[in-house]
Amino acid sequence: MVGAVARVGGRNSWIAVPAGLLCAAIVAALVWLSLPMVPVVVAWAGEMLRNATAPAPVPEATETPASRALEGAAVDCRSLYSDGLWNELTWRGPTILDQNYDPPATAVTSLTEVLAPDVHLTCEWSDGNGGVVITTLAGVGEDASSLAEAALRGQGFACEVADAVLRCARTQGRTVEDHVVRDGLWLSSVERAWPLEDYGSRLERQVFG
């Protein structure tokens, strides 16, 4: 049996050499054909390494109603309200929204005269039962913050200034007034017999971002 195996191996040796040479030729041909792809592979690997170590891109600032107004673009009432606040206003009942360019509805009429606002938009809501919410977004001058603070404090408003932003509020009976002056804009809101939780602050976040 051992002799038979030796004889079989001896008889096949003349096939092994050509087969080995053929395999070597095929491998050499494949290497030669792949040579043009070497720079591509190197570039791809380099790009992968750069992307893995590069800092995350900073997202562009989100456009807000305030930025649109400052750029002179049109704004509408829907853009001034978050979805939640919009739903609170529209689900109250047969509410009516009047979009116009009336001046701020503040009870401090002298303030409107002093600031001479350039009204971008006024949104006036009414519920048919005496409830009214009026919000105005208007452009004002550089000295508007100091002028508004003096006028509003003199009328009993509680005011604070933080990061160059003036915020004033007053509650008289069932009427709430909120005023924000920042970035050359005046956001004025008056709520009469229509209580909305944190209306002024929620509106400011939506308008200014």
Is the entire prediction scored with pTM above 0.75? no
How far are the Cα atoms of 6, 19, 21, 23, 121 from residue 12, in angstroms, in the given order? 10, 11, 15, 17, 96
pLDDT at 9: 46
Taking all residues of the chain, what is their mean pLDDT, rounded to a whole number? 84
Long-range contacts of 48-56 (CB under 8 A, 24+ apart): none
Span 96-143, pLDDT tens digits: 999 999 999 999 999 999 999 999 999 999 998 899 999 999 999 999
